[in-house]
A and B are shown apart, each in its own frame.
Chain A
């Protein structure tokens, strides 16, 4: 439900970082979103078109990389990847686990730009 404000924050952050690359055109922005981040990929993509209008990011592509939940299972002594978010049990031994190691990420991983060659 708050995807538009999240996408707006992405636009602001990338725009700030662009100051170091004058004249550059943004081609792609890559996000890392955990399965427990409470945001929906489709909704982010939908909002992205609106939020980038009239900004240096207009026309760029949003790539959302969804990360599964990874828990640490104490009995197994290992990090295990959950198949979904409906059961927080180790898929190997079936024990409940509450030690979350991945799944809440909501971050900008990188962005790709076309840089303008300096005029000589």
Chain B
């Protein structure tokens, strides 16, 4: 018997990373801006997306969405009311979307015909942070009802995001939301990140959000 150490130095999520790299290339060639929306369940990803898809379409943009949930196609039906093509991904118990699921569900879509593709991830602030979907922009959402210390509790997700959207600002006062604490906590975990304070009920901050999307789309070329 001899003992041997076999060096591997291999990424555990290598398969996902490779698939995601392939997707990223595909998105770039097609010139579509892909965004991955992540948050806890109930933060308002679907509400923000419903508004965003409708508004972007009004402005003549070509948009589509993939939406992930463990079960039901409720969100896809809700988003489809915007008139945009929408596909539901049911993960049946899996707590995140991965690059393989995205690739499968994009089958038959001509990405070159799109300006924006939104991916609404499964509501979960932990696991989706490990899975690259090839997106250009990762957007983390936080609602005023969740507590200002969410970024400190889930640093990995907030640290990996490119933009942060605070939702339900219309409820900030009744919830006793400490706006400065929330902004400080987000900045502590992800210094310099772009932050939007929004409400789809009152319309607060949405114009700024759209401008950001259009700017990112332009950068894509």
Contacts and interface: CB of A to CB of B under 8 A. Distances in A.
Contact of A115 (B2, B9, B12): B2
B126 A38 contact: yes
Classify the secondary structure of B's interface with A. Answer: mixed
A5 B9 CA distance: 19
A107 B1 contact: no
Name, among B6, B11, B13, B95, the residue most crowded by chain A CB atoms within 10 Å (CB to CB).
B6
A10 B8 CA distance: 11
A106 B3 contact: no
B127 interface: yes
A83 interface: no
B2 to A, nearest CB: 5
A9 B157 CA distance: 22
A36 B9 contact: no
Given A107-B12, A117-B2, A88 B188 contact: yes
A66 interface: no
Interface residues of B, number: 34
B192 A109 contact: no
Contact of A37 (B156, B187, B188, B189): B156
A110 interface: yes
Contact of A86 (B1, B188, B191): B188
B10 A87 contact: no
Contacts of A98: 190-192
A33 to B, nearest CB: 9
B46 interface: no
Interface string A10-35: 10011001000100100100010000
A13 B7 contact: no
Contact of A88 (B2, B11, B94, B190): B190
A91 to B, nearest CB: 14
A106 B6 contact: no
Contacts of B80: none
B199 interface: no
Classify the secondary structure of A's interface with B. Answer: mixed
Given A1-B95, A107-B12, A108-B12, A38 B7 contact: no
Given A85-B155, A86-B155, A113 B4 contact: yes
B82 interface: no
Nearest to A85: B155
B88 interface: no
Nearest to B16: A9
Contacts of B1: 114-117
In the A-B complex, the 10 residue pairs with the closest CB atoms? A96-B191, A85-B155, A2-B127, A108-B8, A36-B156, A38-B156, A110-B7, A106-B12, A107-B11, A38-B130
5 contacts: A9-B12, A13-B8, A31-B12, A37-B130, A85-B156
Interface of B: 1-13, 15, 94-96, 124, 126-127, 129-130, 152, 155-157, 159-160, 187-192
Given A21-B6, A86-B189, A88-B190, 19 more contacts: A1-B124, A1-B126, A13-B12, A17-B6, A21-B4, A39-B130, A85-B156, A86-B152, A96-B192, A106-B130, A107-B11, A110-B6, A110-B8, A111-B8, A112-B4, A112-B5, A112-B6, A113-B6, A116-B1
